[in-house]
Amino acid sequence: MTLFLLALGLSMDSLAAALSQGAAARPRPTATGALRVGIAFGAAQGLMPLVGWALGLTFASVLHDVDHWIAFVLLSAIGVHMIYDARGATDSTAGVHAPLASGLALYAAAIATSIDAGVAGVTLTLMDLPVLVSCAVIGIVTLVCAATGVLVGSMAGALAGRRAQVLGGFVLIGIGTRILIEHVFFGG
């Protein structure tokens, strides 16, 4: 359950971006276009935790006594940043229509929204989650969320994107808090 919630929380940036793309895209996005966006976001989101995990593993012996605090601070910081970004977003692009992102623009968006997954990857060693399975779950959940987000975005508008990002931020803060409480109060 923790892994699924982590994947869902991390996918909210991608979902928000996909909802926004779907809302602004004209002509209306197709299922193929939505799948293309989902694959790009899912691949980036699935690979970045592996980078973070490798860095976390390298420094694990040094971090053992404070790992729960690091997980709490990192996940909370990512969550707060997501909430802050969502609340600061404006509708300055309202009324602007463009095709779905593709090529370099799509990959840049996918990488930009997955940086938090790289940071969260550091916490995989701290949560005792299997790394490759975690990366696969994060990637698949993000793929589904982003592809769905493009299609829903074309119907729901950009406002839903900000709400999804806020929800994802609170989920990540909750996971970080749970890790801290387990380690401090229950010897987890």
Q: Residues 129-149: pLDDT tens digits?
A: 788 999 999 999 999 999 998
Position 70 scores a pLDDT of 74
Higher pLDDT, 95 or 75: 75
Looking at the chain, the number of H-run helices and the number of E-run strands are 7, 0
**pLDDT of 104 over the 90 cut:** no
Token output for 136: 């696969």
Do 79 and 13 meet the contact criterion of CB atoms below 8 Å apart?
Answer: no
pLDDT, average across residues 109-117: 78
Per-residue pLDDT for 36 more than 90? yes
Distance (Å, whole) CA 32 – CA 97: 19
Give me the phi and psi of 45, to 5 degrees please.
-70, -30
Query: For the chain, what are the domain ranges?
Result: 2-91+98-186
Q: How far is Cα 14 from Cα 45, in angstroms, rounded to an integer?
A: 8
Band (97; pLDDT cuts 50, 70, 90): low
Distance in angstroms (rounded) separating the CA atoms of residues 39 and 100? 14
Residues of the chain with pLDDT > 90, as a percent, come to 17
pTM: 0.68
Report the SS3 class of residue 41: helix
Beta strands in the chain (DSSP E): none
In which element (H, E) is residue 187 found?
Answer: none
Q: Decide if pLDDT at 46 tops 90.
A: yes
Q: How far apart are CA 126 and CA 102, in angstroms?
A: 36
The pLDDT of residue 35 is above 90: yes
Question: 75 or 31, which is more confident?
Answer: 31
Per-residue pLDDT at 52 exceeds 90: no
- Burial class, 32, CB count within 10 angstroms (exposed 0-12 / middle 13-18 / buried 19+): exposed
